[in-house]
Structure 1
């Protein structure tokens, strides 16, 4: 334990949200600068404003990192320790760091946004529109002979100011840090046009460039807001019930065990269990379920439940979900900062910083591409020495090539699609932890499923009661229930639960002297009789009174149908059999059918149950393979074997028992993650609802995202490939290059935003 603590003291991980990235290239430059800082082990920066950091606490602390980010012109919105922004807390901040962040955020909301100003966050867009208006009026007036030339010139100069304000600001900031970005090139080209007397062309250049930037920011903000909307689901306050009275308090004041009152048609303020009242709750904001779920009180209202993952869905409620038409009283089982909603928000934000394989590839490509372009431009600047043209012509051509070759669209093409895909998935009740699982999910050729609780209900049901000899069915069932009532085994509980339902009001006798035989069955006393209940192995070594061949074949027959069969003996006489089965989920067959239609070639069930049970379940629901009698470590071997046979394999389970197999698969998918902290943390993809039918939606979304990423890459690379020769040979001037350059950037961003509208 001491070793674990020392490692935690030595290293730290932080998630920081900032404002101020001008474009994807700016985000990447900040990432490179962070990675060069002494003590920073790894950083990942998303253009959406999320920064993930791992660092050595002995070499660098959080204050130094925040100071560095501010120097980069970024506005700190929140850090991992400052979660009240997400939870909408109303309490006063106490820690100095939190106060700083709160002030930073307040400033950002007014005028300190890098693209803000007198008109707030829309200033750049408004400046761009003013630039366009001045340019249009000036150009129109230049054709009116009665109006002096200086009027149009004045309007063009005004257009230069409004169109070039942010371009000049960014260019100066970049050059001051030793950088050389497209903003600087645009400014140089516009100034060059003015020197040559081409004021209208220069103003058009700045108008198009500033409008393109403003629209790009607008589009990316739309995707960001889709994720930010998750944080707004939680209400700020709750109605706390104490000593028979209710009072309104901030959700941060709630403690585990508190009782809150939720009025009809209002949001639930905390994760908890229902202790009074019945209602239907709309869980769509968290789990994506379209149909409200009926909620009823727990059996034991005195129990705490905070450490219990096995809470029935009919008893559990989540913060941010919406109550139906009746009042509920809820016992809080998680503090606001630990609620499922707050963890979901944090994990979605972390997902933005995880780069996809395509993004890593484009980053690598750009590392070689940009220097190559600069060498080409250097050569073009000297073209006047080789061909008969003035230096101004060579300079103009070189600037045009630089504009044409700037990989803005390439830089934003993948991050914008990943951001939109993760946002849409979260809205549909699926947590996708970054670009890699988002891309991999769409390329799956095989899916392995755990059986219990994934393909089946996870709750064994009594399916058959078979009397042998002269005993009646009800009498046999009474004996079985009496004996099994002494056991805590899940199968025993199922026999008692379903047996009592069948027997209705019949009185059950009391058994005693329970003795369990591990993996085989139980022995107990009932009245003056000795009762044995178990599988055939129990009777193998018991005594000489072995079951007959006829009885054995009946047991085998029931087992071949997928039943877990228990043979019952009273003293020396075999009196009957009871069979139980973990029944398949209602939606399993239909879901697997959809997956088959989507092109998933192999669907394999991995289970610890015997092969006969596995085969019976597989046949019922339409699996291609069923591998039974597997221990947890053998499931890992099965996944490794599958990966050798198929290129991409997913493992679907509950995220607890199946964690090792999920870790070894291409993509680990956990079901019912909203009710399990372990599942939320261990899986690459978490289906928040305990519903298998969400899986086709997740795969379909992933394939759409992959297709959009490919389209964006073709567009961005194709346009660069066409524009470079066009500008070299003078077929396109800077104006055309800017139009196409900005157009392609906007095209890939708006193409990515189509994912937000993806239908299930």
Structure 2
């Protein structure tokens, strides 16, 4: 049987339909060959007294020849193609064996060989097509047309492929989204399960500045082609052409995933290069030995050599690994995990050391208000509202974290803005609220002004800084109101992920970060990694990965796919976080988590190890059958059982590989829950 390989360039929908028609025709030819074989076999069994007078003697032979035609039609075409490439593959061996059987008058055995081989090949194509179609079905998710908003305000139905960046599209409730874009009007819950694997719809709202570069716009304002809108109407500005949207890139990458051969695949390819010629040589030696040394007739020796040819053909071996790889890649994609080829899939199962980037991987990638510590004589509410009054007019990232945090805890109508707000360069802000001067900034701001800082404020600052927080002190007039702590908090599921990875045999978990060591230690302690390395430049991260990889240890590096690219490239497997919509992440990583969720890592590791286990099982099955059949055929086992066992083993490895498509979903650890909200603000 030929090894399945997806096309080198993604076909369009018409090509996909033609491929399906080809598979249906091949299965039709195989079934027809089975019918003609059974008719010929049945007629050959009839006693001559039953058939005399009404059936010509050549009729069974005619049915067997028809079986040769229908069963050998696609086999012959495949054999010719392989010969043109200068390679003698399994198709050639099987066709040669069938013709050899016919040459010694064993038309029935040759016919059943071609029937079973063609049926096996057709069923193999069908089975492999199931894995492929589970991915290619993604291509059908994007609607064929979209409602484009005209400058006049009217809408016109436009083919999706004609949309260009900048077009504004109306998406009705419960309709599929036609293109990647930025929400400019409306809010809704969007089901992104088909792309990212997220089981819960994600809230999407209009972007404050839709004209900002797309890569700077938060995910809550971005939508992707093929996902399903919820109950609210949305208007979105198209960000990329249809051929370049996230859905199209994912489909193209997964279609070509099997082109990246795994180590086992490369071994089998090298093995079959010499194995097939060796089989032909052995067949010739068996024929020669029988005629010269065993004094058999040429027909008897030729028949035995054909049996050896059938028994030694590596059909199951050729299909065992690609079937498992494609099924594993397809199953991963259904869970929002893009595995780019067999090499990555197989290597993941051998990983014993994992390095995590901090920002955006183990943390949320955005500073958040985590602590409000009021000073003696002040209240938490007074501290929060005064901080909001000063920071609401600032565009500094830390100011944004404070504003968002206070808004989450207090009603909007209870919040006010300060007047006469001015920035103190590198230190903080000053302003006026209710006639009192407010000042917020680092402890140094107040030390440099000669202010008497209360001990409880100093203790709060020291405690929060030891916990990895960036601190700001707030004073109203001569009164200190307290200290605010801001940090990029760890993801809620990170600690459970570490436990699950250890349960699966990962020996070392390391966090590498460009942040200062104190912040890195705080986050690392919270999530439970074995070691934290802070204050690292990109080249330092590469050095750290090389250290982890010493002694031929298999390593994985998990980052955002952009600034961590050098480290990811030096790891055995590079894994990109939150790759939906990120062309750079999709191109640089070996594996891409389409949803921004490290909770799927243990599942990915289990799937990889299950794929490797099935590959080993398939290889054992394939080799065991060959090892049994070769001596059995030499000792006189008839061609019928040889053919059935040989072709049965090929079907068995395909069916075994397809079990991966039903590999159990869900998280590795019951405690892993994807946390959508930040850590609550502490008192």
- Alpha-carbon distance between aligned partners in 2 of 1:507 and 1:410, rounded to the nearest angstrom: 73
Which residue does 1:751 correspond to in 2?
A: 656
Which residue does 2:282 correspond to in 1?
A: 376
- The answer (yes or no) to whether the contact 2:556–2:568 under 8 Å persists in 1 is yes
Q: Is the aligned partner of 1:742 residue 2:647? A: yes
Shift of 1:285: 0.9
Which residue does 2:668 correspond to in 1?
A: none
Shift of 1:185: 4.7
- The answer (yes or no) to whether the contact 1:135–1:204 under 8 Å persists in 2 is no
Which residue does 2:134 correspond to in 1?
A: 226
Deviations 1:83-122 (A, max 9, x none): 7x25xxxxxxxxxxxxxxx7x8887776xx4x77xxx353
- Alpha-carbon distance between aligned partners in 2 of 1:654 and 1:207, rounded to the nearest angstrom: 52
Which residue does 1:590 correspond to in 2?
A: 496
SS in 2 for 1:248: strand
* Unaligned segments of structure 2, at least 5 residues: 666-683
1:300-699 equivalences in 2 (<5 Å): 300=209, 303-305=210-212, 307-383=213-289, 384-468=291-375, 473=380, 476-477=383-384, 480-485=387-392, 487-499=394-406, 504=411, 505-517=414-426, 521-522=427-428, 524=430, 531=439, 533-534=441-442, 542=448, 552-568=458-474, 576-644=482-550, 647-699=553-605
Deviations 1:15-65 (A, max 9, x none): xxxxxxx712xxxxxxxxxxxxxxxxxxxxxx33323xxxxxxxxxxxxxx
- Alpha-carbon distance between aligned partners in 1 of 2:608 and 2:525, rounded to the nearest angstrom: 29
Is the alpha carbon distance of 1:681 and 1:735 closer, same or farther for their aligned partners in structure 2, counting shifts above 3 Å?
Answer: same
Paired residues, what number? 656
Which residue does 2:34 correspond to in 1?
A: 129
- The answer (yes or no) to whether the contact 1:138–1:153 under 8 Å persists in 2 is no
Pick from 163, 166, 169 the counterpart of residue 71 of structure 2.
163
Shift of 1:668: 1.2
- Alpha-carbon distance between aligned partners in 2 of 1:395 and 1:161, rounded to the nearest angstrom: 23
Is the alpha carbon distance of 1:374 and 1:281 closer, same or farther for their aligned partners in structure 2, counting shifts above 3 Å?
Answer: same
Shift of 1:143: 7.2
Deviations 1:301-333 (A, max 9, x none): xx335x322333332211111122333222222
**Higher RCO (C-alpha under 8 Å, 6+ residues apart):** 2
Question: Which moved further from structure 2: 224-233 or 270-279?
Answer: 270-279
Which residue does 2:143 correspond to in 1?
A: 235
Which residue does 1:297 correspond to in 2?
A: 206
- The answer (yes or no) to whether the contact 1:241–1:260 under 8 Å persists in 2 is yes
Deviations 1:680-706 (A, max 9, x none): 222111110111212122112111111
Aligned-residue RMSD, C-alpha: 3.2
- The answer (yes or no) to whether the contact 1:486–1:514 under 8 Å persists in 2 is no
- The answer (yes or no) to whether the contact 1:381–1:395 under 8 Å persists in 2 is yes
* Unaligned segments of structure 1, at least 5 residues: 1-21, 25-46, 52-78, 87-101
Deviations 1:409-464 (A, max 9, x none): 22221111111111111121111111111111111112222222222223333233
- The answer (yes or no) to whether the contact 2:76–2:92 under 8 Å persists in 1 is yes
- Alpha-carbon distance between aligned partners in 2 of 1:175 and 1:639, rounded to the nearest angstrom: 45
SS in 1 for 2:488: strand
Pick from 690, 706, 709 the counterpart of residue 615 of structure 2.
709
Shift of 1:559: 2.1
Shift of 1:590: 2.8
- The answer (yes or no) to whether the contact 1:650–1:669 under 8 Å persists in 2 is yes
Is the alpha carbon distance of 1:346 and 1:164 closer, same or farther for their aligned partners in structure 2, counting shifts above 3 Å?
Answer: closer
Is the alpha carbon distance of 1:408 and 1:252 closer, same or farther for their aligned partners in structure 2, counting shifts above 3 Å?
Answer: same
Which residue does 1:279 correspond to in 2?
A: 188
Shift of 1:132: 3.5
- Alpha-carbon distance between aligned partners in 2 of 1:458 and 1:177, rounded to the nearest angstrom: 51
- Alpha-carbon distance between aligned partners in 2 of 1:315 and 1:192, rounded to the nearest angstrom: 67
SS in 2 for 1:280: strand
- The answer (yes or no) to whether the contact 1:448–1:606 under 8 Å persists in 2 is yes
- The answer (yes or no) to whether the contact 2:37–2:64 under 8 Å persists in 1 is no
Is the alpha carbon distance of 1:323 and 1:135 closer, same or farther for their aligned partners in structure 2, counting shifts above 3 Å?
Answer: farther
- Alpha-carbon distance between aligned partners in 1 of 2:495 and 2:130, rounded to the nearest angstrom: 38
